[in-house]
Amino acid sequence: MSIHYIIKSNIQLIILVAIFGALAACNVEDTKEEASTTTLSFSGSVGDGPITQAQISVTDANGTVVAKTVSDITANYSVSISGDISYPLLVTATGGTDVVTSAKPDFVLLSVAMNSTLKTININPFSTLIVKTAQAMHGGLTPLNLSVANKYILEKLNFGLDPTLVPNPITTTIDAANVAVVIKASEALGETIRRIRSALLIGGMDLTEDQIIDIIAEDMIDSVLDGRGPSDNIRIAATAHIVSAQVLVEALANQLYVSGADATTRMNTAINLSMPSANTTTADVLITEGMLTQTRLAVAATQALNSSSNLVA
């Protein structure tokens, strides 16, 4: 092989390396530019009862807070995030004023954005329980676990949330057609958590509402609220069934008591505040088969625990 051929081949190789190096550099610069200009925007409702002036915080998969905002007078929020985004994004709501109770919310509300295609991320008691149930499952907060958790909660702990109007409490847009059912069902679930805490306190067990939600979420990873989850707390499961029966019977009669008083008028005011165009009240919310099934199971569990109950499944 001649020296001339070797030199010529090496020159060609150097030229090719230089070309590929330049192209790679361009691609890196293009990627950096794309990452730096990426913008994600999403919005949603905030509420147990609707919550105004709630502090909203968005945290990425690395634990970095990437956005903050405050819910407005209609209990809605919106955020925009720029840069390289690591999913899932946890969305947390704290503080503010619950329009139904006129007080600070009793527990932290949690939701999640799993990818950039989602434009609606609601934050409510259902989203909180769904996300925490998914987190407690094997593998943690994955799209599959989130989907399974959503199915379990809507089947077993729906409190009248109609799946035909709200198939996903996190991503379904709240509008005039479903705002009443969302507020009524969310308030029922929130009131259940509050009453569980009160009942446990009477028995000498002092847990926060957040701790109670964590325990129920861990229990629901197999879709059954029976006290046999990782927390292994049968007492809380039993209390939850008794309290749920009370709340569900009140909700079925459209006489849900919140903090010791009939909250029907306050919930209707909240509906109008959140969606002025909605021509519905809690009285218009249909009783679903899922709600009836949950009520029967809760009442049956209550009767098994207390033979003196006057309730009939």
pLDDT digits (tens, 9 = 90+) for 218-276: 999 999 999 887 777 899 999 999 999 999 999 999 999 998 999 999 999 999 999 99
Tokens 């949950």 correspond to what residue? 294
Comparing CA positions, the residue from 55, 75, 168 lying closest to residue 113 is: 168
Q: Write down the mean pLDDT value for the chain.
A: 88
CB within 8 Å of 12: residues ≥ 6 apart: none
Token digits for 158? 């729906």
Tokens 């330049």 correspond to what residue? 22
pLDDT band at 307 (very low <50, low <70, confident <90, very high): low
State the average pLDDT over residues 12-34.
Answer: 39
Tell me the C-alpha distance between 113 and 42, whole Å: 9
Token digits for 161? 């949330």
Comparing CA positions, the residue from 14, 113, 49, 26 lying closest to residue 271 is: 49
Contact call for residues 75 and 89 (beta carbons, < 8 A): no
Distances (CA, A) of 196 to 103, 149, 313: 19, 21, 21
Tokens 């209609």 correspond to what residue? 74
Tell me the C-alpha distance between 144 and 240, whole Å: 27
Contact call for residues 208 and 200 (beta carbons, < 8 A): no
Contact call for residues 261 and 103 (beta carbons, < 8 A): no
CA dihedral (234, 237, 242, 245) positive or negative = negative
Residue-wise pLDDT tens digits, 37-56: 378 999 999 998 899 999 99
Q: Which residue has the higher pLDDT, 292 or 259?
A: 292
- pLDDT computed for residue 25 by the predictor: 42
